[in-house]
Amino acid sequence: MNTDIMKRETFTAIVGQVKKSQEDFSTAIDILETAQKELGVVLGDYRSHILEHGISKEKCLYKIKGNAWGYLLHRSGVFEFCSIKQRDEINSQMEDEKNLPDFTLDNIQAWFESYAVNIDKLFEESIKEVFDWLKPWKYEEYKTNNREIIGRKVIKNWMFENIWKDRMSLVYRNDKYIQAMDNVFHLMDGKGVAKYPGNLVTAIKEACRENKRSCETEYFMVKWYKKGTMHMEFKRLDLLAKVNAKAGGLNLSADLFGNKEALMKTG
């Protein structure tokens, strides 16, 4: 994770500013409500409603708290190691602003320390999720695909769609899976998460805009076809072997890459 966000002085500054903003918002809403009441004494209630929509002090303060927690979460780098499921769960917690803990120095420190302690487990779950996604589904029993471990080549169905005159596009819901896979390989290689413009999702989308049917990055070679299938080849077999091993899919009897010894040498 980003160690800068773990420094107590950073927490202190952020907590202080958020608290001040909450106080300023609260004061401003009190002033607006008082002004409206005073105007009502003169003009009547009907003509004193100047604001198009009412302002709830409680909702504003909850929103500030939720946004503050969300900011720290993204700054920390926690998401870089989390699976898609884990990110969805955390985002759901962040959206439940009423039940979020107060934005205090002690709560922040405790929250991030709990993730720092479990960061290896978080990443392992992310690898397992990518591994399960890459394994063939019921309707992906292609000869290239391997049920035991992820082989050098993988074919995935329903990844692309024809949007106009044979122009293809990556199906929107698949972005997160491509990005998750790309992150795992980048992190395995010690290079941090995959980011624009060098990530695979960007390469695919740029190729689609140019009406191409293939692209290549540091870790992957990808082709896609009119029926929506994606054919992908892994360029770094050493990293692929680590994914297989760490995800619990290690099976040295399987014919990986067409060569049993390949996995044994790189695992």
pLDDT at 118: 82
Given a cut of 50, the residues of the chain with pLDDT beneath it are 3-5, 251-267
pLDDT at 131: 93
pTM: 0.75
Q: Where are the alpha helices (DSSP H) in the chain?
A: 8-43, 45-48, 57-76, 84-95, 105-117, 119-134, 175-188, 200-209, 237-246, 260-266
